Structures are given as structure tokens and as C-alpha cells.
Structure 1
Amino acid sequence: MQKRHSKLVILGSGPAGCSNSQRWRQHYNYVRPHSSLNYQSPFEYASKAA
């Protein structure tokens, strides 16, 4: 079984924090594979379901 580690990510505040959070959300929804979605990104999963 794979061991998972969580880490604290500080996004910052102001324009830099906003940019970092947008970049993270973009990666999470369009790039990062999710095991619960059969290792597809949410975008890929939704595209195939539509």
C-alpha cells in the first residue's frame, strides 16, 4: 500500500496568493489524475461523461 504524506502549502496573500491559488486549482482540475476517477483528471472524466 502506498503511503501518503500531507504537506502544508502557503499560497500567500494579495495578487501573488491569488495567482498561486488559481494555478493550483487549474492543476488540480485539469492535470492531476484522481484515483477515484480511474486516474483521470476531473476535466477528462467530465469530458468523457458528456
Structure 2
Amino acid sequence: MRKFLTLTLIGGSLALAACNTVRGAAQDLNSAANCTENTINGQNCR
């Protein structure tokens, strides 16, 4: 039972870390897309 609980907690922690990483990557891509769109429209990147 103790091993199961330990593995479950470790697995849950890894899953949460992965979600944050994916969310951060999505924000980076969104920022790059906005910058590209602004450049195409003759505006500055922010």
C-alpha cells in the first residue's frame, strides 16, 4: 500500500509539472504568433 501511494503521488506530481510546461509552451507560441502578426501589420513586437 505504501509503494502504491508513493507511486501515485510521484505520478501526480509529474503530471502537474507536465501541464505547466505545456501551458508555458503554448504561451510562448502565442506570443511569437502575435509578434509575427504585428510585424505583418506594420506594428512593433511587444
TM over 0.5: no
Q: If the length of structure 1 is used for normalisation, what is the TM-score?
A: 0.39
Higher helix share: 2
Q: If the length of structure 2 is used for normalisation, what is the TM-score?
A: 0.42
Q: Which has the larger radius of gyration?
A: 2
